Amino acid sequence: MRATLAVLALAAGIMMSSFLPAAAAPRSLDANACVEKIVNGGFEAGITGWEPTTNGPFALVGPALPRTGNLGAILGARSNADDRLEQTISLPAGQTATLRFWWQMLTEEPDHWWDELEVTVKPAGSTESIRLARITDGDLQGQWQQAVISLNAYAGQTIELSFRADTDANEPTEFYVDDVSVRACDAAALSKRLMLPFVTR
């Protein structure tokens, strides 16, 4: 089951890459005609913007292992955990949208897999969540990795993005998440800007 994420990643069209995530949160169009849709993706404002659900007494945002800044999300980290962080965003019609997030997993599991972090989207009006990624205790642990996932299929829709950790009764696993970003980009505006120098000559 060690290859689960890799297989799913390929199936979902996910690329793992090492480039840096988008700068946090300007809500106006940037030079690439893109808008950041996630509020507080780096968790530096605590739980602001996120809807937490947990069956434990623990805060889901804390200073234990942030990738950047002082705070990050911590999901699982105990047995029988059921932790969720969700945010609802609207994606503009006719634009591309890309989810990026960084994750790190630490586990005490000697064999795999038993504990997982599932990333899903649920379009408004739908009762069905669609899995974008599954990270398990069988994946590479102890280092930050970035997931990059196209959300183009949800252009024009309001979606609930969810990170959910589920651990079994023994040998806990910690799932850390930081620097979550969904950038919606106006491809038409971008191509116009690229054309501009040629038009004005």
Q: Which residues bind Ca ion (CB under 5 A)?
A: 42-43, 66, 68-69, 72, 114-115, 167-168, 171, 178
Tell me the two tokens of residue 144.
């930050």
40-58 residues labelled b (16+ CB within 10 A) or e (exposed)? bbbbbeeeebbeeeeeeeb
| Smallest distance from Ca ion to CB 98, Å | 19
**Phi, psi (rounded to 5 degrees) for 123:** -65, 145
Closest to Ca ion by CB, 68 vs 129, is 68
| Smallest distance from Ca ion to CB 18, Å | 18
| Smallest distance from Ca ion to CB 184, Å | 22
Closest to Ca ion by CB, 103 vs 114, is 114
The Cα 60–Cα 46 span in angstroms is: 9
Closest CA to 159 of 186, 120, 185: 120
Closest to Ca ion by CB, 79 vs 150, is 79
Closest to Ca ion by CB, 62 vs 123, is 62
Residue 4 near residue 32 (C-beta atoms within 8 A): no
Closest to Ca ion by CB, 118 vs 178, is 178
**Phi, psi (rounded to 5 degrees) for 120:** -135, 165
| Smallest distance from Ca ion to CB 27, Å | 18
Closest CA to 16 of 102, 85, 98: 102
